[in-house]
Amino acid sequence: MLNTITDLQDEILVRLEKGTATSGLYTDTILNDWINQSHRWASGYRPWPWTEGKVSTTLALDDQDAQNYPEAWKSDSIRIVQIGGKRYQKLNFEDWLIFREDRPDDDERVYSDFSRRLFINPNEASGTLTVYGQFTPARIDVTDNTALTIFSNNEDEGNEAMLFEMLAYAKTREGKPKEAEYWHRRAIELLDSIWTRISQEQFGYHSKNRGMFKRFDVLEGALDDELLKRDQFF
């Protein structure tokens, strides 16, 4: 079973029919570099559930009503923003600019992002900023032989895909491009099979009491829930 750095190091040598990492083609340094390369590639191949994260910090907007993305988070990956426990709606950046230009004093809870920065309506915004999204996994500490990958104890087949990608690196180094392409395709196929299985489970998620659009009165320009108020005729 592939689980730790040692497992990957030992197995790649077995697959390459090398007893130890003594050949100039396959030193410990080279193998460890391949582990990190394949880990970075495989971890970023899909937005895996186990690379989802949450970060909370103090809201500290600059003069552009913006705040930097959390460090080491993937670009455009923030899906939910809460400030002071209140959820904000995500706009595309052009609509955000139009909103701020046309309604500078509006306290509607909206935000957008651009160039790895969060743009948040500052009106009535205060408290703790909490974001949910996708982070970039850290490099593996190859000096720790017991270190785990992002797939270990989650979807262990991902470690096999990493091994296939390492074999592709090895075959490239040996000057065998067709074999390198074969192992790279095998790695992709295995990661895709993991993603398909995850995607097929998405049917279990349901939205509760949430409409896609608010009803709008075209003639009066008011939201439907603003048109009729209890006891308004008394």
| pLDDT tens, position by position, 219-234 | 555 544 444 444 444 4
> CA 54 to CA 45: how far, in whole Å?
20
Considering only the C-alpha atoms of the chain, give the largest distance between any 2 of them, rounded to a whole number of Å. 91
Burial of 168 (0-12, 13-18, 19+ CB in 10 A): buried
Paired residues of 233 in beta bridges: none
Task: Identify the DSSP state of 202.
Answer: G
Bridge partners of residue 87, in order along the sequence: 82
Whether 143 has a pLDDT exceeding 80, the answer reads yes
Looking only at the bridges linking them, the beta strands covering 117-120 and 110-114 are antiparallel
Query: What percent of the chain has a predicted confidence (pLDDT) above 70?
Result: 83
Please determine, for residue 123, whether its predicted confidence score (pLDDT) is greater than 80.
Answer: yes
**Backbone Cα Rg of the chain:** 25
3-state secondary structure at position 56: strand
Spatial separation of the C-alpha atoms in residues 25 and 31, rounded to whole Å = 9
Instruction: Copy the structure tokens of residue 34.
Output: 């391949």
pLDDT on residue 229: 46
Which of 86-90, 113-117, 152-156, 187-191 has the weakest average pLDDT?
152-156
* Per-residue confidence (pLDDT) for residue 230, from 0 to 100: 47
CA 55 to chain centre: 13
Tokens of 207: 């939205």
| Both tokens assigned to 230 | 């209890």
| Predicted TM-score of the model (pTM) | 0.76
**Could you tell me the residue ranges of all domains in the chain?**
5-48+150-202, 51-135
Element (H, E) at 145: none
**Could you tell me which residues come within 8 angstroms of residue 118 by beta carbon, excluding any fewer than 6 positions away?**
66, 67, 68, 69, 78, 81, 111, 112, 131
Kind and range of the H or E element at 55?
A: strand 52-58
Q: Are 131 and 80 in contact (CB under 8 A)?
A: yes
**Highest mean pLDDT: which range of 7-11, 69-73, 169-173:** 169-173
